[in-house]
């Protein structure tokens, strides 16, 4: 049996397992064919990073559609077909509902990768490689790429392309002859080095575990985020959070030793405290280092969980042993009489002794009693700092409904060094709400918090949240839990999320989709970091100052400096500072020419995004000029602008490796770029040139017209995942003036150059524009640069009134023929607009439908549910490929049943809050932390600008969420998603 035949047998065996849902078998499929699929994608788009994004989307699509491959012997050609379809669209504009920026990719795992030939290529090498390859016709280029990606096997290439080996040899010979001999070796070596490594496989499998297989394809315009990117971002942010939490915990632990050392009666005791503290700090650093090393070397293996568990146990045993040893030695010292030279004379102890001479313990008992206990009992001994160990009097015990004392035993409230009560505040506390250095209670907040809900430096509870947290569900720098753990280091039996996560069940990097108490608490904390920070300050003030004020009074014979006023003064100063310097504020201003400018500074961002949005789109096309706005968008980013010469779309995308985008909607046009922050001024200059000094020539129109027609053909005919919703849209929202979204081909062919020039010259100007930016931006510098580059541009004409959509066609099915496969059906509805009273209920139902739609899987490049809130607010659709043997009526019934099931239930508890969080970034109802926004400044800028255009007010939307009633959801289910409101499209392959 030859090699190709053997491969077919292996593929058939693996795919049978894959069809049964075997993820491990699918991983082997990815390993076997990743070079092939990436090669096909690279041939289509000419960008290595983007080709791997396309390839990953190909494998995800293959997993979703695994049941549709009837003949596993055709696996290679089937995968290549999917890759070509997705690659053909990879240079189009970014997907509407998933704005994203391409970020640094995960490093290859060298242990499983090939040797020196697999060294990563530099950007310069990649650019030179494609400059040589792109001149070769695709017929000859694809076999050449696959030949070096497939270990120089003619038989493999022939099998992949469904060609004979002789035909492959002829095409290879022709392809090689097109390369000069002096560069052939360079190209061949470059292709070998560009093969995907083990990290590619890890990225695909991580995407499956994160549910990425059900997510909408976002591989357009070079702006998609790979699963590897997500994994690396989660790992970096998670481990950095865990490291920061550990370091803060270490610092807090040292402070906990240093303070009693300063207050110790003798030098001997002080040195014991300090030596023990140094040893514990060293042990903590070793423990933290061990965790980081294990996360780097063992993450993802069973040995990691074993090693992590062992390290935690050993560390806790050591700390416990060290504490016992220290306690015993101090007790032994205090049995002796200290020498005069051994007395501790630190500044803190002297200050405490001075203060103790000026205050007295309060003693009071109220005459009123209830059930035999006084309503208020205060019993506090006078503070005494003597010269020996026996410097403190016996503690006084307070018992009452409200008890304040050295040992406070209250029913409602206890405040003291030791305290218990429904609310207990002090050093060591037990209560319903317990706040102290060591706190035990139903809700326990402290350095060590043990309770049903534990919060603190070290927290233990059913729900635990802290620097280190252990519980049923836990969040923290290091989180250990049975059900759900979220943290920089996360260990759980069921589910773990974090930079270094281990679990018997689900393991991933982002808990955004989890609706559990720990996940909700984490999201709330991140979204309200300012309030959380203030809460900790209030806790520190209450825990330190309140007991002292209640327990002690001023000695009337001696003066007391009003140092206690320092605390509220510092607190007020902090509040004033944070209010004035909050980095989360959006900068907003306008220019005299009508330009609206928005900017969101993001602390810690390394890149910035600039988005120019015009209030001009397809609805503004004059009658008989369908596609005019679309062609202007194409030419806008490619024509000569100022000193920048004309370029192709490929050149545009290649100029912005971090991401770029250009798209035309119904009533807007957007152009976006992502770039290093130090290039902000240059990007503003170029954006101003395209607004004011664009030279549109006949060559530009000739270059972009075929590209637009090809794009429109994909949208409505060639690619089922695009054709289904776009044809359905023409039923629920017919394009005004007899046109079609993107442009009618006959009218696009007839567009004259003068119309294109005049449309740009009149309307793509400041008066109709919003300039949005996000990233590492200094507001003052940004304002000055915008004024300099855009301030002198004439405002232009006010955009014409958009046409109104045509007659809606609902309640009937339209059957169409499409060039692609498989057969696909789509149900489409027209959603309410943001100002409608049904908008918030629509979002709740839309979230349900998105969750239900994940069960559908999808076809190649297909997202089952299309619901882009900002990019395309005029359509919501649910699509699915036909199953083998399924009739149009059967697939329609299946989609309708799924939709009805999703919208039927009444409003559930916590559902509104979950939806608000889910769509918060897009709608502005939540404010993610800067460290999350820094990963995707494009999304921040784009959503900021689109909300401005749509008039979407986050404050009003939050109010609508809070006021939502079940009857409003039921009304939206009927008026938006009910059967009479649905349009149906069935696409059958030609």
Q: What is the pLDDT of residues 209-225, one digit of tens each?
A: 333 333 333 333 333 33
Integer Cα distance of 959 and 965 in angstroms: 12
- The confidence score (pLDDT) of residue 51 equals 79
Q: Which of 50-54, 165-169, 510-514, 547-551 has the lowest mean pLDDT?
A: 510-514
Q: Which of 78, 581, 489, 151 is nearest to 298 (CA)?
A: 489
DSSP 34-69: HHHHHHHHHHHH--HHHHHHHHHHHHHHHHHTGGG-
Provide mean pLDDT across the span 892-917: 89
- The confidence score (pLDDT) of residue 105 equals 34
Read off the pLDDT band of 734 (50, 70, 90): very high
Instruction: Decide if pLDDT at 308 tops 60.
Output: yes
Cβ–Cβ < 8 Å for 431, 422: yes
Provide mean pLDDT across the span 863-868: 86
Read off the pLDDT band of 536 (50, 70, 90): low
Give the H/E segment covering residue 438.
strand 397-492
Q: Give the whole-number percent of the chain exceeding pLDDT 90.
A: 31
Express each pLDDT in 247-257 by its tens digit.
655 665 676 66
**607-614: strand order across its sheet:** 587-590, 596-601, 769-775, 607-614, 669-676, 660-664
Q: Which of 88-92, 718-722, 776-780 has the lowest mean pLDDT?
A: 88-92
- The confidence score (pLDDT) of residue 794 equals 96
Identify which has the larger pLDDT, 742 or 29.
742
Instruction: Decide if pLDDT at 204 tops 50.
Output: yes
Cβ–Cβ < 8 Å for 144, 172: yes
Instruction: Decide if pLDDT at 483 tops 60.
Output: yes
Instruction: Decide if pLDDT at 38 tops 80.
Output: yes
Query: Using CB atoms within 10 A of its CB, is residue 812 exposed (0-12), middle (13-18) or buried (19+)?
Result: exposed
- The confidence score (pLDDT) of residue 304 equals 61
DSSP 167-215: HHHHHHHHHHHTS-HHHHHHHHHHHHHTS--HHHHHHHHHHHHTTGGGS
Instruction: Decide if pLDDT at 811 tops 80.
Output: no
Instruction: Decide if pLDDT at 722 tops 90.
Output: no
Instruction: Decide if pLDDT at 436 tops 90.
Output: no
- The confidence score (pLDDT) of residue 637 equals 96
Instruction: Decide if pLDDT at 186 tops 60.
Output: no
Express each pLDDT in 360-386 by its tens digit.
788 888 888 888 899 999 988 877 665
Express each pLDDT in 648-698 by its tens digit.
988 898 899 888 999 999 999 999 999 999 999 999 999 999 999 999 999
Q: Is the pTM of this model over 0.75?
A: no
Express each pLDDT in 43-87 by its tens digit.
777 777 677 778 888 888 888 777 777 777 778 878 888 887 787
Instruction: Decide if pLDDT at 135 tops 70.
Output: no
Enumerate the β-bridge partners of residue 694. Answer: 641
- The confidence score (pLDDT) of residue 829 equals 94
- The confidence score (pLDDT) of residue 628 equals 97
């Amino acid at each position: 049996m030859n090699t190709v035949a053997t491969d077919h047998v292996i593929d058939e065996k693996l795919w049978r397992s894959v069809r049964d849902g075997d993820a491990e078998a699918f991983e082997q499929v990815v390993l076997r064919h990743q070079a092939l699929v990436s090669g096909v994608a690279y041939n289509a788009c000419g960008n290595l990073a983007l080709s791997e994004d396309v390839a990953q989307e190909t494998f995800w699509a293959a997993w979703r559609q695994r049941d549709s491959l009837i003949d596993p012997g055709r696996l290679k050609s089937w995968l290549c077909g999917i890759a070509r379809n997705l690659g053909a669209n990879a240079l189009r504009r970014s997907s509407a509902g998933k704005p994203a920026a391409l970020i640094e990719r995960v490093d290859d795992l060298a242990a499983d990768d090939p040797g020196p030939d697999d060294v990563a290529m530099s950007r310069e090498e990649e650019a030179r490689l494609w400059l040589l390859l792109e001149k070769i016709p695709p017929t000859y280029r694809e076999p050449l790429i696959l030949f070096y990606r497939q270990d120089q096997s003619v038989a493999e290439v022939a099998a992949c392309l469904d060609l004979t080996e002789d035909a492959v040899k002829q095409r290879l010979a022709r392809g090689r002859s097109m390369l000069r001999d002096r560069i052939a070796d360079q190209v061949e070596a470059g292709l070998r080095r560009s093969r995907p490594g083990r990290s590619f496989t890890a990225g695909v499998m991580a995407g499956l575990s994160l549910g990425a297989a059900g997510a909408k394809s976002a591989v357009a315009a070079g702006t998609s985020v790979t699963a590897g990117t997500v994994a690396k971002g989660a790992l970096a942010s998670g481990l950095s959070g865990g490291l920061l939490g550990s370091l803060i915990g270490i610092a807090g632990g040292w402070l906990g030793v240093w303070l009693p050392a300063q207050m110790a009666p003798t030098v001997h005791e002080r040195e014991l405290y300090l030596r023990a503290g140094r040893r514990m700090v060293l042990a903590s650093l070793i423990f933290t280092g061990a965790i980081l090393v294990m996360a780097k070397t063992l993450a993802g293996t069973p040995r990691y969980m074993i090693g992590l568990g062992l390290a935690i146990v050993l560390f806790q045993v050591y700390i416990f042993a060290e504490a016992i040893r220290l306690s015993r030695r101090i007790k032994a010292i205090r049995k002796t009489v200290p020498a005069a030279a051994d007395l501790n004379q630190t500044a803190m102890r002297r200050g405490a002794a001075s203060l103790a001479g000026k205050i007295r313990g309060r003693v009071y008992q109220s005459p009123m009693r209830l059930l035999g206990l006084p309503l208020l009992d205060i019993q506090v001994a006078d503070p005494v700092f003597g010269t020996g160990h026996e410097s403190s009097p016996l503690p006084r015990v307070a018992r009452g409904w409200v008890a304040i004392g050295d040992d406070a035993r209250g029913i409602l409230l206890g405040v003291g060094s030791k305290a218990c009560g429904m609310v207990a505040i002090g050093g060591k506390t037990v209560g319903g709400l317990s706040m102290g250095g060591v706190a035990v209670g139903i809700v326990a907040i402290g350095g060590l918090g043990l309770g049903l809900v534990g919060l603190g430096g070290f927290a233990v509870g059913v729900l635990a949240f802290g620097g280190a947290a252990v519980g049923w569900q836990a969040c923290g720098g290091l989180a250990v839990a049975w059900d759900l753990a979220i943290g920089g280091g996360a260990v759980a039996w069921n589910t773990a999320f974090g930079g270094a996560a281990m679990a018997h069940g689900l393991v991933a990097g982002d808990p955004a989709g989890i609706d559990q108490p720990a996940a909700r608490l984490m999201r709330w904390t991140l979204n309200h970091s300012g309030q959380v920070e203030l809460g900790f300050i209030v806790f520190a003030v209450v825990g330190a100052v309140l007991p002292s004020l209640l327990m002690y009074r001023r000695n009337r014979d001696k003066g007391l400096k009003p140092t206690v006023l320092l605390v509220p003064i510092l607190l007020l100063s902090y509040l004033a500072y944070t209010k004035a310097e909050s980095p989360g504020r959006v900068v907003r201003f306008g220019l005299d020419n009508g330009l609206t400018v928005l900017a969101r500074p993001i602390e810690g961002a390394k890149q910035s995004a600039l988005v120019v949005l015009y209030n001009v789109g397809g609805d503004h096309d004059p009658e008989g000029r369908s596609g005019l706005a679309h062609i202007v968008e194409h030419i806008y980013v490619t024509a000569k602008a100022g000193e920048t010469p004309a370029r192709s779309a490929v050149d545009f995308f290649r100029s912005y490796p971090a991401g770029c985008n250009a798209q035309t909607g119904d009533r807007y046009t957007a152009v976006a770029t992502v770039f290093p922050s130090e290039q902000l001024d240059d990007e503003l200059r170029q954006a101003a040139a395209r607004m004011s000094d664009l030279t549109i020539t006949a060559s530009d129109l000739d270059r972009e017209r075929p590209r637009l027609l090809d794009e429109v053909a994909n949208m409505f005919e060639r690619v089922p995942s695009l054709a289904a919703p776009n044809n359905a849209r023409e039923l629920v929202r017919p394009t005004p003036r007899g046109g079609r979204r993107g442009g009618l081909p006959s009218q696009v062919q007839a567009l004259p150059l003068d119309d294109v020039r005049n449309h740009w010259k009149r309307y793509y100007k400041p008066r109709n524009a919003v300039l949005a930016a996000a990233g590492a931006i200094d507001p003052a510098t940004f304002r000055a640069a915008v004024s300099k580059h855009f301030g002198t541009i004439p405002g232009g004409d006010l955009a014409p009134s958009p046409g109104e959509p045509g007659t809606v066609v609902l309640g009937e099915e339209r059957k169409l023929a499409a060039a692609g496969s498989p057969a696909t059906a789509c149900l489409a509805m027209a959603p309410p607009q943001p100002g409608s009273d049904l908008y918030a209920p629509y979002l709740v139902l839309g979230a349900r439908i998105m969750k239900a739609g994940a069960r559908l899987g999808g076809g190649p490049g297909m997202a089952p549910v299309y619901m882009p809130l900002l990019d395309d607010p005029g359509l919501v659709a649910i699509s699915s490929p036909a199953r083998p043997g399924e009739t149009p009526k059967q697939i329609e019934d299946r989609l309708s049943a799924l939709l009805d099931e999703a919208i039927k239930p009444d409003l559930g508890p916590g559902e509104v809050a979950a939806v608000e969080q889910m769509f918060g970034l897009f709608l502005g109802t939540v404010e993610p932390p800067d460290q999350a926004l820094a990963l995707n400044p494009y999304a921040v800028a784009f959503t900021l600008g689109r909300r401005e255009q749509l008039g979407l007010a986050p404050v009003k939307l939050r109010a609508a969420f809070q006021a939502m009633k079940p009857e409003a959801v039921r009304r939206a289910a009927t008026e938006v998603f009910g059967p009479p409101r649905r349009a149906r499209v069935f696409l059958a392959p030609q």
